[in-house]
């Protein structure tokens, strides 16, 4: 099996910063893309940022200029640096990865989520 484990969430004041990380482990043959989604209470899950193996990232309009995503390919890790956080960024942040498993082939995997709360 493949596991995605997130860390780095927490409580921060408006204008503050947090860095999330997500590590993929298991019988991984290849990781095609890794990214972050978020889901606030009563709202649909939405894309925050995603990054394929190449350098071009895709960001939600609401986070452009404030959030940065990058990957450490050798460590199967994706990071999300979040600056200038606002209360509307409060949500559970979930890691997603498009992974080829040695035995079961290619599919998408989700982490368990990490809570980010922006409040004074």
Distance of CA 98 to the CA centre of its chain: 12
> CA 95, CA 52: separation in Å to the nearest integer?
13
pLDDT band (50, 70, 90) for residue 23: very high
What is the average pLDDT score of the chain? 95
Q: Which tokens hold the place of 115?
A: 């809570």
For 55-92, the pLDDT digits (tens) are 899 999 999 999 999 999 899 999 999 999 999 999 99
């Amino acid at each position: 099996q493949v596991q995605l484990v997130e860390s780095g969430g927490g409580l921060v004041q408006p204008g503050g910063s947090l860095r999330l990380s997500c590590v993929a482990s298991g019988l991984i043959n290849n990781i095609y893309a890794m990214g972050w989604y978020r889901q606030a209470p009563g709202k649909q899950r939405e894309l925050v940022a995603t990054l394929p193996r190449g350098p071009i990232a895709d960001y939600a309009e609401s986070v452009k200029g404030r959030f940065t995503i990058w990957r450490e390919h050798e460590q199967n890790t994706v990071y999300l640096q979040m600056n200038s956080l606002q209360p509307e960024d409060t949500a559970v942040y979930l890691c997603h990865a498009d992974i080829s498993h040695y035995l079961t082939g290619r599919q998408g995997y989700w982490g368990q989520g990490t809570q980010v709360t922006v409040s004074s």
